[in-house]
Amino acid sequence: MFRISKTLNHNAVLAVSEENRECLVLAKGIGFGRKINEYIEISDDATVYSLQETTERGNSGQLARSIDPLILEMADFLLDKAEDSFGKIDRNILLPLADHMEYAIKRIQNNEEISNPLTADIQVLFHMEYKVAEQIVPVLKKEKGIVIHDDELGYIALHIHSAIEDSRVSEAMQMAQAVRDCISLLESETGHKISVMSLSYNRLMNHIRYMVARAITGEKLKVNMNDYMSIKFPKAFQIAKTVCNQVAHNLRREIDDVEIGYLAMHVERTAEEEQ
């Protein structure tokens, strides 16, 4: 049993559990005609979010009260779609996701949309997450009368990724930035534009993705290819070294020197395929 502490709208209420924990409960019609202190049973189709945690913007309960309940429902809808695609996810990102969406909607309504230089990289690097984010487009058109563009969807995709990989949005952004830095350096050195849809881009992207993941977890590669790559392909090795240094700086983490040789191998392969 839950005791209602506040009705947000027909489909969302704040309620206190039997353990005296405040929760956000989302379900169709759950708030219709309800009164404060009324006790309710939670149906199987309801989603219950604990409000015990503290977010970057402060107390979860206060944040839940401040966000448009319709946007809470939209964020919950996206998390349902993420579960359909990925299985079990961390639904605790509901409030940060809804908070971001609310500001995105306000930006669009005020014609103050922000640009995202990493959108194309995010679309490839987090392809499935982006596909989930796209499902909010018709919902926003219907409920808010607005059109959300690719750059805003890119940021929403990063939030969805954080629910899947148990990582922070900032880490996903750093990963995308690392891929972009490497591609930009390679394009500058070779004088050739690399399509984000090419196979060589995807190979390089995936290698950098796992390199960043290893830096975060502290996992080490076992075979050192640095001597061979530095002699055989010095230009690719120098590009790889520059990228590794930049990634280490962005992540504020140490990148193992052994990573340079492996990245250089992918850089050289990409340069050859793109010529």
Q: Provide the CATH number for the domain around residue 230.
A: 1.10.1790.10
- Residue 253: the pLDDT is 84
Q: From CA 140, how far away is CA 99, in angstroms rounded?
A: 15
- Residue 196: the pLDDT is 77
Which residue's structure tokens are 């306000």? 106
pTM, whole model, 2 decimals?
0.79
Domain identity same for 148 and 206: no
Question: pLDDT class for 58, splitting at 50, 70, 90?
Answer: low
- Of 61, 90, 109, the last residue of a domain is 61
The SS3 call for residue 7 is strand
Question: pLDDT class for 270, splitting at 50, 70, 90?
Answer: confident
- Tell me how many domains the chain contains: 3
The percent of residues above 90 in pLDDT, for the chain, comes to 44
Which of these ranges, 59-63, 229-233, 261-265, has the smallest mean pLDDT?
Answer: 59-63
- Of 138, 166, 194, the last residue of a domain is 166
- Of 166, 183, 215, the last residue of a domain is 166
Instruction: Tell me the residue range of the domain where 38 lies.
Output: 1-61
Q: How far is CA 145 from CA 108, 140, 219, 249, in A?
A: 11, 6, 47, 42
- Residue 148: the pLDDT is 93
Domain identity same for 197 and 262: yes
Domain identity same for 86 and 57: no
